[in-house]
Amino acid sequence: MSNPESYDAVVIGSGEGGKYLAWHLAEAGRKVAVIERRWVGGSCPNVNCLPSKNEIWSAGVASTVAHAAEYGVVTGSVTVDMPKVLQRKRDMVDGLIAFHLGRYQATGAELIMGSARIAAPLTIEVALNDGGTRTLVAEKLFLNLGTHANVPPVPGLAEAKPLTNIELLELDRVPEHLIVLGGGYVGLEFAQAYRRFGSRVTVIEHGPRLAAREDPDVSEEIRRILEAEQIEMLLSTEVERVDGKSGAHVDVHVRTPDGARTIGASDLLVAAGRTPNTRGIGLDAAGVELDERGYIRVNGRLETTAANTWAIGECAGSPQFTHMSLDDFRVIRDNLAGGHRSTAGRMVPYCMFIDPPLARVGMNEAQAHAAGMAVRVAKLPTKAVLRTRTTAQSAGFMKALVDANDRIVGFTMIGSDAGEVMAVVQTAMAGKLPYTALRDAILTHPTMVEGLNALFGAVPAKAG
């Protein structure tokens, strides 16, 4: 073991919540180290959120150009230059890495590139990427370990070397036929993007519908939208075996409601959930307990079962969104300063960046019913919003849930600008405004947000 070095705070992992906490503590005069195995800034700016949305935007441009004639614009044939798409993404990532390195330098937080292992409570051994080891002893330890793509234990699947989001985002070619295992966020976003790049795409989902956490009407609308782009959907389908190698040829043997089938393709993407990066790094030596799924046990203050040790973001079981990891940082920051902030009851907004996008905040109908809550439901087709007459982007709908006290408890939208419209509703919910505030608000014409007038004007009257 190398000579121990003392730090006020050590953060393992440089993802969203961890890096902001490190920068904050360093700017307050603390001696802080961040240990990062590979991705400076975490997965979001390198291989997840921003790179995927970068390529999805390129795919959207390709789709817009392909349909330009519908808007009276005459173009030639559309060709996708995947090396250029890849380079655009890489240029963005390079800029983000430079930004992060600049923040480390400006704040004084030390970034250590290497693999961390906890040898004892608050004691971390680091195998440095460029050779050698260091031992850090922390007054406070923050675990920002993240997650990785889960590869299900299907015979032949691991041997087929399937793509995950990381490898897919490094492709410099358009797959001839891409099979996507998983009908959730990652799978559906990439399915549509690569269909628009020119791939034939098949989505295989073991459940009976896409985006299973949503209400059935939302799932069905997503399916309708994606099937309209000739994306093949196989629902209630189990993958029994995989033969071959992704990138050359794979045969995926499945059992559908109509019987057995073998699907041949050039490439295979696994988008079947995430697994926390908590195994094999010595958490047991620190007294940090895991739950039955491998996530770190924390309380509402994100404190672990070990003294002076906290967990942040996905590894702590927080919703798997960058903005939730950022809020984890705020919870810990405020409590370290003597506050009483908790993760309990947080309002979680999210978007699925298909086109048109899905956005939701608060409860859906199923959740409200499960909680025994009596809600009034209002629904408005997106085509009823006059803005869509100008854009011809009319797919989808808005839906709102209102409780007995006239408070908005949930909002879902699939449609153009859904994420921006949702933010308006979220603000009203955060301010505990009655739904009538949006019903009667003067909203700019013609915008998508204007549809909130009609949506909340359609809230049923209270019973009796």
Determine which one of 100, 206, 369, 445 is catalytic: 445
Report the C-alpha gap between 84 and 211 in whole angstroms. 31
Question: Which of 414, 399, 394 is CA-nearest to residue 455?
Answer: 399
Q: Is 49 exposed, middle or buried (0-12, 13-18, 19+ CB in 10 A)?
A: middle
The SS3 call for residue 187 is helix
The enclosing H or E element of 232 equals: strand 232-234
- Measured in whole angstroms, the distance separating CA 54 from the mean position of its chain's CA atoms is 14
278-293 burial, b if ≥16 CB within 10 A, otherwise e?
beebebeebebebeee
Measured in degrees and rounded to the nearest 5, phi and psi for residue 252 equal -105, 115
Please count the residues of the chain: 464
Strand order in the sheet with 238-245: 238-245, 249-256, 259-265
E-strand ranges in 369-457 read 376-381, 397-402, 408-414
Catalytic, 177? Answer no
Report the C-alpha gap between 116 and 134 in whole angstroms. 9
| Cα–Cα separations (whole angstroms), residue 414 to 67, 215, 353, 400 | 21, 12, 10, 12
| Cα–Cα separations (whole angstroms), residue 386 to 90, 307, 382, 449, 454 | 38, 57, 9, 10, 11
Q: Is 462 exposed, middle or buried (0-12, 13-18, 19+ CB in 10 A)?
A: exposed
Query: Which residues are annotated as catalytic?
Result: 445
